[in-house]
Amino acid sequence: MQRPQRIRIKNESGKLQSLPDGTEYFQDLGGSGEILFLGLGPVPETALKLFPDNSTIYYIECPDFESQTLSRKIPSAFKKIKPELLSTTAHRIILYTPNKMLFPSFWGPILAQLVIRQTGVNKKVRKKTVWIPGDDNSLLVPELSKALAHADFTYSVIDPDAMRKNLLSMLDQELPELVLSINFIGLDNTGETYFMLREAGVKVVVWFVDNPFHIISGIKSDYWKQVPLMVTDHWFIQHLKQLGSIKVEHLPLGTDPDLFNADVVKFPMLDKRVVFVGRSSFPHKDSFFAGCTFTHKDYDEAVRTIGTGTKPDFEWWAKRDMLHKFWPGRKVRETGFRAEQSGLLWRSCILNAAGENLTLFGDEGWKKQLTSTDIRPPVDYYTALPSIYAGAGINLNMTSPLLPCGLTQRNFDVWAVGGLLLTDYTPGLSIFPDELVQECSFISPDELPALCDKFMTLPKLKKSLSKFWRNLILKKHTYHNRITNLLNFIQ
């Protein structure tokens, strides 16, 4: 016997998805009053079987779902109502469960309203507290925690899985003023957590410190467009807005003045060396870019472009790949992988240009790329790194090509400890005075040796420049400054 063919519709992400039918796909969410279905599914007669004796049953339907299932016959017992009436009338709620994945941006706010109203957590008094999803070792959590305390906020570092799974009980214990997520950590892919927080009156902001399109490539819902976003690289702002982001602004990285300051003890025997501290690739790179390719042709193009003094960054590869749509889908990771592989070539060229005077602290992967023999093991950011930056004759910085106009922590941390930084040029440096940027930046790898020689032979210039930079960084570019900007952004 041939199984009946299921109806297929395009979901919120534009992908075809089958609509399962059966009473088991309806969930009773409780409540009292008239029966209200949140979606009737592909065969409304199936929903009617659950309450065959009711003469009137109310329902809400997603317009996108409705427009694609016009052939459905709605039994006369069903009466359609608008979502706005939920706040005025009590109902017993029945959910067609596939809706949560089909059109999460439509159903998420409705479900959040119903659940939060039942619990009453939105009536609790909000505390001047910020939740940061992650753990004490997560990216930027220590720096942001201290900066929040400096701004007279209490903070809680929240386990991301616990926030997604136990959000209602956590909100019942404490209603924070703000959830600050780095790279969408702690928020789920359909927006359920975000809508619950919003309905409870909790503000949410996401700070992208990596390529935003890599992060949202895993999100299946439009909901991310409603979340206030901040980006460390201003290049992405126009592209996020074109996709529909309603609120996005630039917030660069900064430095922690308690950790990076002029009082740190200098690392010995580095004062005549050109020093670089960094990995050859980011953790779990292979799994993140699984299935992506970097062909011999791609390699040759990257090498040829670098030879002209141009960094083949994400913007360059997006144009070359004719990538016109950054979301939805994972194609953006193909472009990102080629930019990442090009970045390894770019950094290798610069490090090799530093010559025999280079000392590198990093992983074993560098030994396959460099001619330098002074490659040392990785160091901890919060212990040895400030001393290395302070003790180095010259510190090198190469910006990730995944961020066309981005900066790195080195652009702030090195100067904060009184060190000297030479960096490849990126438009992101425009947040600093142009006369300072010109002194210590280079366009192509072949410019680096002369620049190194200049500062090694002119110690007074080096000292003077370091002092100007340090004063600037500590005045305008600490995480205290960034938190002030962020709090102003969410008002």
Nearest CA to 230 among 214, 245, 244?
A: 245
Q: What pLDDT sits at residue 5?
A: 65
- What pLDDT score does 4 carry? 56
pLDDT of the residue at 324: 87
Q: What is the pTM of this model?
A: 0.91
Divide the 491 residues of the chain into consecutive groups of 10 and give the mean pLDDT of each group.
69 89 92 90 93 87 93 91 79 92 94 86 85 90 94 93 92 94 94 95 96 93 95 97 96 96 92 94 86 94 93 95 89 95 94 93 89 88 94 96 96 97 97 96 95 94 95 97 95 84
Distance, CA of 303 to CA of 297 (rounded, Å): 10
Return left, alpha or beta for 406; rule: phi > 0 is left, psi -120 to 50 is alpha, else beta. Answer: beta
d(CA 397, CA 472): 18
Contact criterion met (CB below 8 Å) for 144 and 485: no
The values of phi and psi at residue 78, to 5°, are: -85, 135
CA 293, CA 23: separation in Å to the nearest integer? 45
Q: What are the angstrom distances between the C-alpha of 456 and each of 65, 266, 357, 375, 413? A: 67, 17, 11, 21, 21
- CB atoms closer than 10 angstroms to residue 106: 23
| Surface-to-core class of residue 263, CB atoms within 10 Å of its CB (0-12 exposed, 13-18 middle, 19+ buried) | exposed
pLDDT of residue 273: 96
> Can you give the pLDDT at residue 3?
52
Tell me which residue of 206, 196, 259, 252 sits closest to 229, measured CA to CA: 206
The answer to whether 392 and 462 are in contact (CB under 8 A) is no
**R_g (Cα) of the chain, nearest Å:** 27
Q: Cis (ω within 30 of 0) for the bond into 328?
A: yes
Beta-sheet pairing, 34-38 with 57-60: parallel
